[in-house]
């Protein structure tokens, strides 16, 4: 078992205070958006196995079966298939979707064949993997997830009283659901930018004036003035997670995180196609291939089980669970068939011989027995064999 040293990513939307508060550190004044725990090549965790330290990705590459176990390598290949993060949103993230596995492989191969540099601003596929993800709230956490039923979206837009939204309202009411959602999202993202900027300004002013169900959308224009994503966001369900609640996001489901601190677990990928709320590249034709144009109620997940509370999801690349350890409680011996990362978010629990502070994490190779004890909250990220 190895204590991890993790990279904090300073994305502009990150909170300046949430991650420092968790770590018990002084804020730097700069945004601290995500802390990555895993072996993703973009920011692999470091550990102290060699003189001067090394990365978790290097350790796994040197002995995949020894670190991950033969069963995990046979099922997922010689790489850790998940990435664990602490995510701290101080401003809305981009409105986005993720491809399924077949789309990711085809898109990655196409851009490789065309020689698109991996770090190019217009590159869509950074790897050949899909990116299902799970977000679990540590504080009240606001987000957008999945399309509303078109008629409900039409009622919401109509209630703003903005004349330039009327064509979208009519489209949402005049077609079958899939066609309505596809046509409106396409129209919003391809509209004349000057006309759309005026529509967004009027929409935001109306949302701020009306409040209530419009309140989550009112502030978007302050961060992204004129961005068509402000209108696209109103096609989606607003979700507020309470601490301990979670939300699973599968392929093709449009979503955005708005505000809050959470634990995020995902397949080991960085493939994102953006719909708006961003200054970055938006590839509308490619996006429309990936989006699933179906209304979907955002299912709020609550942990199930006894000592180990599990957040059930339909995929095998990752599995998130939580231990809430009480003082004087019995220790818990963790299964050892698969690799795992343990993350402390409260208290001072003990994993084996290591005591963890909030924000600290450890990597446990497959086959190594670990006992959790003490007092605090520990999230366990592993995979399903």
Q: What are the φ and ψ backbone dihedral angles of 151, each rounded to 5 degrees?
A: -70, -35
Instruction: Specify binding-site residues for Zn(2+).
Output: 96, 98, 133, 255
Residues 6+ apart with CB under 8 A from 77: none
Catalytic residues: 274
Task: Give CA–CA dist 2/204, Å, rounded.
Answer: 49
How many residues does the structure list for the chain?
385
Contact of 88 with 34, CB cutoff 8 Å: yes
**Chain centroid to CA 365:** 25
Side-chain-facing half-sphere of 94: CA atoms under 13 Å: 15
Q: What are the φ and ψ backbone dihedral angles of 281, each rounded to 5 degrees?
A: -60, 135
Instruction: State the sign of the Cα–Cα–Cα–Cα dihedral 44, 45, 46, 47.
Output: negative
Contact of 102 with 271, CB cutoff 8 Å: no
């Amino acid at each position: 078992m190895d204590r991890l040293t993790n990279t904090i990513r300073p994305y502009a939307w990150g909170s300046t205070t949430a991650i420092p508060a968790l770590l018990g550190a002084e804020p730097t004044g700069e945004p601290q958006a995500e802390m990555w725990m895993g072996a993703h090549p973009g920011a692999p965790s470091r550990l102290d196995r060699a003189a001067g330290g090394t990365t978790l990705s290097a350790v796994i590459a040197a002995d995949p079966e020894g670190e991950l176990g033969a069963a995990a390598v046979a099922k997922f290949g010689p790489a850790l298939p998940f990435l664990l993060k602490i995510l701290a949103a101080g401003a809305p993230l981009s409105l986005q979707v993720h491809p399924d596995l077949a789309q990711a492989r085809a898109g990655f191969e196409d851009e490789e064949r065309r020689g698109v540099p991996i770090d190019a601003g217009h590159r869509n596929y950074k790897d050949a993997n899909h990116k299902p993800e799970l977000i679990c709230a540590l504080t009240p956490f606001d987000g957008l997830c999945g399309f509303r039923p078109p008629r409900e979206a039409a009622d919401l837009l109509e209630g703003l009283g903005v004349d330039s939204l009327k064509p979208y309202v009519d489209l949402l009411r005049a077609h079958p659901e899939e066609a309505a959602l596809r046509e409106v999202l396409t129209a919003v993202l391809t509209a004349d930018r000057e006309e759309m900027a005026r529509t967004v300004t009027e929409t935001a002013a109306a949302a701020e004036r009306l409040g209530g169900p419009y309140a989550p959308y009112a502030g978007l224009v302050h961060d992204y003035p004129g961005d068509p994503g402000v209108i696209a966001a109103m096609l989606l369900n607003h979700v507020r997670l309470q601490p301990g609640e979670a939300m699973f996001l599968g392929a093709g489901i449009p979503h955005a995180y708005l505000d809050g601190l959470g634990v995020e677990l995902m397949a080991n990928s960085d493939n994102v196609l953006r719909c708006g709320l961003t200054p970055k590249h938006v590839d509308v034709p490619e996006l429309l291939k990936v989006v699933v144009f179906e209304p979907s109620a955002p299912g709020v997940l609550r942990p199930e089980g006894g000592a180990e509370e599990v957040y059930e999801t339909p995929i095998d690349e990752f599995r998130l669970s939580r231990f809430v350890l009480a003082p004087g409680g019995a220790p818990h011996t963790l299964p050892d068939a698969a690799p795992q990362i343990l993350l402390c978010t409260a208290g001072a629990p003990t994993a084996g011989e290591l005591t963890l502070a909030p924000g600290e994490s450890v990597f446990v190779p497959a086959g190594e027995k670990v006992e959790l004890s003490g007092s605090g909250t520990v999230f366990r990220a592993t995979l399903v064999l």
